[in-house]
Amino acid sequence: MKLYIETRIMTFEEDNFEHEIVLRVENEIFYGYDLVIEISEESSFVKDRQIEGGKFFSVRDNNSWWGFPLYEIVDNEIIDFDYTQYDYFNDTKRRNILADKIKINYNPSSENKIMRKTLKKILDYLGLEDESFSNYNNKVEKIIKKIPKGKK
């Protein structure tokens, strides 16, 4: 049986080794698969993970909210992956809370303004002229001047 597998390469601080983590496995071609592995239908992976007639293989932990990965590819074979050995997965709740706080405070328009002004200062300091950037920057500045703060 051919399995089509989507993976992600991850390196963890604990062992500084590249793990090819299994994200998705199906026995039919799907868009975005990374590799194909030939496996016996008697394999414990197939028997334990087959759902709905073999069209979908569960490769994530179903006992947690996060759905941590259960398998990795080593030497072109699917083997068990113990995510509990890695802080990256153990600190998931904290990492998501931080991401939510950053998302609340992140303002793309402000970030673009800071980058645009910084680039302008650097170009001016170096005495360089970039015509496409100048055209863009001038258009943005004209729009800002037409609609002052507090008006909508």
What are the extents of the domains in the chain?
A: 2-91, 108-146
Q: What is the pLDDT of residues 31-44, one digit of tens each?
A: 888 999 888 777 76
pTM of the complete model? 0.58
Average pLDDT over residues 45-55: 62
Q: What is the pLDDT of residues 84-139, one digit of tens each?
A: 888 888 878 887 888 888 888 888 888 888 899 999 999 999 999 899 999 999 99
**Gyration radius of the chain over CA positions:** 25
Q: How confident is the model at residue 54 (pLDDT cuts 50, 70, 90)?
A: low
Cα 107 vs. chain centroid, distance in angstroms?
21
Of 31, 32, 35, 59, which is closest to residue 45 (Cα–Cα)? Answer: 59
**Other C-beta atoms within 10 Å of 78: how many?**
23
